[in-house]
Amino acid sequence: MHELTVSPWASLAYLVAGVCFILALRGLSSPASSQRGNRFGIIGMTIAVVTTLVTHVPLRSVAVPLGNPHDLMIDWVTVGEILAAIGVGAAIGLVTARRIAMTAMPQLVAAFHSLVGLAAVLVGVAAYLNPQAFGISDLVVPMIGQPFAVIHPVSRIELGLGVAIGAITFSGSVIAFLKLNGNMGGKPIMLPGRHVINLALLAGILGLIAYFVTDQSAWIFWTITLLSFVIGFLLIVPIGGADMPVVVSMLNSYSGWAAAAMGFTLHNSAMIITGALVGSSGAILSYIMCRAMNRSFISVIAGGFGAVADTSGGGTAIDRPWKRGSAEDAAFLMSQAEQVIIVPGYGMAVAQAQHVLREMGDKLKAEGVRVKYAIHPVAGRMPGHMNVLLAEANVPYDDVFELEDINSEFAQTDVAFVIGANDVTNPAAKTDKASPIYGMPVLDVEKAKTVLFIKRSMGGVGYAGVDNDLFYRDNTMMLLADAKKMVEDIVKALD
Encode the chain (495 residues) as per-residue pLDDT tens digits. 444 455 778 888 888 998 999 998 888 777 777 788 889 999 999 998 898 888 877 777 665 555 555 566 777 888 888 889 889 988 988 888 888 776 677 788 888 888 889 999 999 999 998 888 788 886 665 655 556 678 888 889 989 999 999 999 999 889 888 887 777 766 667 777 777 888 899 999 999 999 999 988 899 999 999 999 999 888 888 876 666 777 888 888 888 888 888 888 888 888 888 889 888 888 888 887 777 666 677 766 665 544 444 444 444 455 678 899 999 999 999 999 999 999 998 888 888 889 999 999 999 999 999 999 999 877 776 667 788 888 888 888 889 998 888 999 999 999 999 998 888 888 888 887 777 777 778 899 999 999 999 988 876 666 566 788 888 998 999 998 899 999 999 999 998
Q: Which residues pair with 401 in a beta bridge?
A: 374
Answer yes or no: are the C-beta atoms of 232 and 129 closer than 8 Å: no
Answer yes or no: are the C-beta atoms of 314 and 435 closer than 8 Å: yes
CB atoms within 10 A of CB 328: 13
Q: Which residues pair with 71 in a beta bridge?
A: 62
* Residues classed as catalytic: 423
CB atoms within 10 A of CB 56: 18
Convert 13-52 to b/e letters by CB count within 10 Å (16 or more is b): bbebbbebbebbbebbeebeebeebeebbebbbebbeebb
Angle separating helix axes 218-236 and 194-214, nearest 10 degrees: 150
Give the closest residue to 117 by CA, choosing from 234, 243, 279, 314: 279
pTM above threshold 0.85: no
Number of residues in the chain = 495
CA distances from 433 to 187, 298, 446 (A): 18, 21, 19
Cβ neighbours of residue 124 closer than 8 Å, sequence gap 6 or more: 159, 162, 163, 166, 225, 262, 265
Q: Which helix (H) or strand (E) holds 424?
A: none
State how beta strands 70-74 and 59-63 pair: antiparallel
